[in-house]
Chains A and B, each alone.
Chain A
Amino acid sequence: MIRFEPRETVSPLLRTGVPVAAALAALALAALPIMAAGAPVLQAYVLMARGAFGSFFAVSELLSRATPLILTGLAAALAFRARLWNIGGEGQLYAGALAAVAIGSGAISAPPAVMIPLVLLAGALAGAMMMLVPALLKLRLGADEVVTTLLLNFVVVLFVQMMLEGPMKDPMGMGWPQSEPMADAATLPKLFDRMRVHAGLIVALIAALLAHILLARTVWGFEIRAVGENQDAARHAGIPVTATFVRVALFSGALAGLAGVGEVAGLKGYLTADLSPGFGYAGIVVAMLAGLSPLGVVVAALFIAGVFVGADSMSRAIGVSNYLADLVVATSLIAVLVSGLFVRFRIRLVGPGRRASAGKDTGA
């Protein structure tokens, strides 16, 4: 018989080891579909690793893939720390991208030193506004933010499609539903020649650092942690719970909005309705793998980006569908959630015949 006993304390080693184990477990489980596809498992993994880390180009691809994931991961991590369940990263990303294109594709012309901050600001603001609505619905009417943020994703993506088929459609776009390209002055510079990795990565890394400082070292961060860990006690202690939720919602939405800016102004150069292959949702996985720590988000985003980039590369080489990446990402989320059980509980095997010894073999 298996018995679960709650742990008194959780060691730091366990806390960091468990997400790593979860990620490895997800990768290992991917062997099953690879085998089912009839491909050599070991070679597939080697190709994946090579595709993600094997060359300067591969690393550049990895970093450019990680850039939006860091930002959406931070958006989820920050909100989740306050127990505000922002599932709307995808919609906020598109809102940010839309705002960036609206400002940066010719509506205003100014030198890059003005345009780039302006575009970033517009995207952040748009993302923040997208999150403000569910936050106010939650605080005023008690509407569950899981539902409202999730459903708003579809609203935003459909709105973007409408704009791209109508008012914002590029007249020079050969009939494709895409926006006019970003002006050169509004484009985020590439970090290396002929590589796709762009200045959005710097923005993402700075955002991670700032989010870490916010949570660990400021009064606002203190209040976010208190509200997230025990809302009743926080309210009793006079912490402004409503204001904290609104603040977190704005920060969270802004971060996801920035991810959208990076994609249009740093990578694609124009907006399409398939700008994001689910970065908003993958950000949730990133945040969970990171244990909701902003600095951990960077590491987790690199892992998830590596899975995506590596699977693309492997897929081209041996013809296993790159949906494998989605499978690994989804499995790693499940693995993290399951591993929560191991963090909170000690598992013991207890049989009727060995009850006397069962207590001793696991120790303290």
Chain B
Amino acid sequence: MSEPLPGRPHERKIVLSLAGITKRFGAMTANEAVDLDLHAGEIVALLGENGAGKTTLMNILFGHYVADEGEVRIVGPDGELVPLEPGSPHAALNAGIGMVHQHFALAENLTAFENIVLGTRPLLAPSTSSRADRQRLEALMRDSGLTVDLDLRVSRLSVGEQQRVEILKALYRDARVLVLDEPTAVLTPQESEGLFATLRQLADSGLAIVFISHKLAEVLSASDRVAVLRMGRKVADLPTAECDRQKLAELMVGHSLSQSRREPRAPGEVLLALEGVCAGSGREAVRDLSLALRSGEILGIAGVSGNGQAMFARLVSGLERATSGRILLAGRDVTAGDARAMIAAGLARIPEDRHRDGIVGAMSVAENLVIEEIRSARYQRLGFLDFGAIAARAREAIAAHDIRCRGGSAISRLLSGGNIQKIVLARTLDAEPAVVLAAQPSRGLDIGATGEVHRRLLAARARGAGVILISEDLDELFALSDRIAVIHRGHLTPARDAGELDRATVGLMMAGHAEEAA
């Protein structure tokens, strides 16, 4: 990583200025009087927990939302700052703002080239492959170091390549300001480093870059300046050189933090075993999967998103059937079990997409707390719901786990991600299951809620449960796991002691180079 650029930011030219931006959604204030100036040639990290208002701010900048108060100004053709028309992505694009969303906005059935030039030419243009455009784009690729096979369909590109297409798309439109929303969420560690090297090169050529992140390590290594958002307000704006990990974390959360610790523990007997399991087809398939999970251990499964983790989780959750192989839970064959059978056999499942699979958003907190056990004698009599018992369970869980809501009858959809995850954790873990499957359990959660997830997984381990932790976050995996296996294109490597592995090795394995890493 190159040195921070010479010259203090205020001596450089301001290309974009956000002044007093306030945005409210109903009673919630997503942004409150946020000021942010952006200078040509700098990389600014916008740091904050989930729900701190980072994405809202950038969506206002790009015209997806209109601020209730405040103004966005961008440098005009004559070098003066002029107000940007609010609520118009078109105006933002024309003014030279390029945005790379977390979820890419690419047409999968078109080639990379077509995606890049899409929308930049008249609707009735005769052809999409004019030579001049092509040459300009190739020059752009050379200058920026962003290389991609222009003639491949986007659906055949890797996630990292798709991201490059998105950045090229912005550059092709002469972006002067590039905004990236959580750009490393889908990348391997090596790909992330490559991305930041490219961004540095682009900044050196005069581009102003903002990237949104909640990962302290990459903010510290890749940015010139950090703006920290907390609960919609900007609480700090300082040169990265003056920051360290601890300081940023405290600014982000607003109080000092304690780390969760993993006590050493001897693993016990095998609780869950997969023997040569195959399932699914295509990109999301898993092939010849074998693992043995022991009592009292956390087995981490690393991998870049989309390499079969989802299928693996669905398989163990009882939502998908294995086409071959066996799944044994405490010695019993549960290969053909459905979700109900898995729950009954003592397997707790924390789903990857908590909004889709974890809770019924339109139902109440109480109903979501009991949904897995609704047929047990505890909550019903002769098929009629026992509202007293359900409400009592809700009160108990809300108090025990500090679920922030207006009581058990509150509609779950309106809760924050962290509180929704607390509902899922209470529902799955309070019954002290023997095996826990946690798929991306802290994805999208803030530091406080992540700590709660980790504490509960460690508590399950401490009482002798076996825990499978599927995660894309290597920090999380190394902090929690006793052993780590890597999934790549549906194949799972044998699990190795976490102490024998380091981030670089796991990163190589995630990219499919298991032999070189071994």
List residues of chain A with CB under 8 Å of any chain B CB: 1, 3, 5, 7-9, 217-223, 225-226, 229-230, 232-240, 350, 352, 355-356, 358-360, 364
Asked if B359 is at the interface of the complex by the 8 Å CB criterion, the answer is yes
* CA–CA, A9 and B362, complex, Å: 11
Chain A residues near B342: list those with CB within 8 A: 238
Nearest A residue to B22 via CB reads A359
Neighbour of A238 across the interface among B87, B339, B351, CB < 8 A: B339
Q: Does B16 contact A (CB under 8 A)?
A: no
B69 in complex: contacting residue of A219, A223, A233, A356, CB < 8 Å: A356
Q: How far is the CA of A226 from the CA of B383 in the complex (A)?
A: 16
The 7 closest A-B pairs by CB, nearest first: A359-B68, A238-B340, A8-B26, A229-B362, A238-B339, A236-B357, A230-B360
Interface residues of B in 86-100 (CB under 8 A from A): 86-87
Q: How far is the CA of A236 from the CA of B372 in the complex (A)?
A: 9
For B483, the chain A residues whose CB sits under 8 A away are: none
Q: Which of B339, B356, B360, B411 has the most CB of A within 10 A?
A: B360
Task: Report whether B86 and A233 are in contact in the complex, using a CB–CB cutoff of 8 Å.
Answer: no
A227 — nearest CB in chain B belongs to which residue? B360
Nearest CB in chain A: distance from B510 CB, A: 27
A226 to B27, CA, bound (A): 28
Interface contact B349-A218, CB-CB below 8 Å: no
Is A233 a contact of B26 with CB atoms below 8 Å?
Answer: no
Check if B361 is an interface residue, CB within 8 A of chain A: yes
Residues in A neighbouring B357, C-beta threshold 8 A = 232-233, 236
- Evaluate contact between B358 and A233: CB separation under 8 angstroms: yes
User: Given known contacts A218-B384, A238-B372, A359-B24, is B359 in contact with A233 (CB within 8 Å)?
Assistant: yes
Chain A CB count within 10 A is highest, among B85, B319, B375, B414, for B375
Q: Which B residues between 303 and 343 are near A, CB-CB below 8 angstroms?
A: 317-319, 338-340, 342-343
Contact A364 B26 (CB under 8 A): yes
Report B-chain residues with C-beta under 8 Å of the C-beta of A236. 317, 319, 339, 349, 351, 357-358
A292 to B68, CA, bound (A): 36
B residues near A238, Cβ cutoff 8 Å? 318, 338-340, 342-343, 372
* CB neighbours of A217 from chain B (8 A): 384-385, 387
Q: How far is the CB of A187 from chain B (nearest CB, A)?
A: 34
The answer to whether B371 and A219 have CB atoms under 8 Å apart is no
6 contacts between A and B (CB under 8 A): A9-B414, A219-B374, A233-B371, A234-B371, A236-B351, A236-B357
Interchain nearest-CB distance for B405 vs A (Å): 13
Tell whether, in the assembled complex, residue B383 and residue A239 are in contact, meaning their CB atoms are under 8 Å apart: no
Q: Which of B339, B361, B387 contacts A237 (CB 8 A)?
A: B339
User: In the complex, are the beta carbons of B371 and A237 less than 8 A apart?
Assistant: yes
With contacts A233-B356, A239-B371 known, is A225 near B66, CB below 8 A? Answer: no
A220 CA to B385 CA in the complex, in Å? 9
CA distance A3 to B87 in the complex (A): 9
Which chain A residues border B385 with CB–CB below 8 Å? 217-219, 221-222
